[in-house]
Amino acid sequence: MVKKNTCIFISGNGSNLKNLISKSREYNFPINIKLVICNNKTARGILYAKKYSIPYLIINTNDRNYENIIFNALRKYKVNFICLAGYMRIISSNFIKKFRKIIINIHPSLLPKFKGLNTFSRVLKNNECKTGCTVHYVNDQLDSGKIINKKIFFINKNDNENSLKKKTQRLEHLAFPEAIIKMFRYN
């Protein structure tokens, strides 16, 4: 199997990055992580790139030129697949057009419900009985591309934002690799 040369974009803790790194080391998992891009120099997730000797690039999104900087790095590592794993910055439509390959994202709600930020507080405020996570293709509309995989759990009366986050992340660590397998394993 030819593995996809993959770049993971992060901004924070990197638990999804860590999980994908460990999956990618399985011989039949369809991606090789060639590069990590991070827009936050204090992000904990960078430690995983360091620990597993994966090249990483910290970018400053205030730099007018930052998308070109990303492009050059993607070209250098022959990246043909991008996973957004907690990347807290909108990808421009220009970027999507120029990259021309697949970009996917993981979102902590059952899309199309609760696009955007602060999902857990909105889920609670709305008295939802269930929530979960969604892996989807990235297009030029926020959290709106075609859905690849979803995982659901039921909310109980003792749940709060923290517990929802923990339960959602546990499911994310299943949903993201599953989505990637679904996309590529039999291609």
Annotated catalytic residues are 107
Helix 15-24 / helix 161-184 crossing angle, nearest 10 deg: 30
Stretch that binds ligand GRF, among 11-19, 54-62, 68-76, 96-104 (CB under 6 A): 11-19
Please report whether residue 180 would count as binding ligand GRF according to CB under 6 A.
no
Per the DSSP assignment, residues forming a β-bridge with 84 are 9, 105
What track of x and - describes contact with ligand GRF for positions 34 through 53 (by CB under 6 A)?
A: -----------x--------
- Say whether residue 145 binds ligand GRF (CB under 6 A): no
Which one of 36, 38, 74, 106 is in contact with ligand GRF (CB under 6 A)?
106
List the one residue from 34, 107, 136, 151 that touches ligand GRF (CB under 6 A).
107
What are 24's two structure tokens? 């990618």
Nearer residue to ligand GRF within complex by CB, 28 or 160: 160
Per-residue binding string, ligand GRF, 118-137, x by CB under 6 A, is ---------------x----
Contact letters for ligand GRF, residues 82-101 (x by CB under 6 A): ---xx---------------
> Cβ(38)–Cβ(12) under 8 Å?
no
Q: Does 169 bind ligand GRF (CB under 6 A)?
A: yes
Q: Provide, rounded to whole angstroms, the least separation between the CB of residue 133 and ligand GRF.
A: 6
Task: Kindly give the pairing relationship between strand 130-137 and strand 102-107.
Answer: antiparallel
Question: Would you list the DSSP string of 39-75?
Answer: S-TT-TTHHHHHHTT--EEE--TTSTTHHHHHHHHHH
Query: Which residue shows structure tokens 């998992």?
Result: 29
CA pseudo-torsion sign 53, 105, 101, 4: positive
Residues 6+ apart with CB under 8 A from 138: 82, 84, 91, 96, 103, 104, 105, 145
- Binding residues for ligand GRF, rule: CB under 6 A, are 10, 12-17, 45, 85-86, 106-108, 133, 169, 172
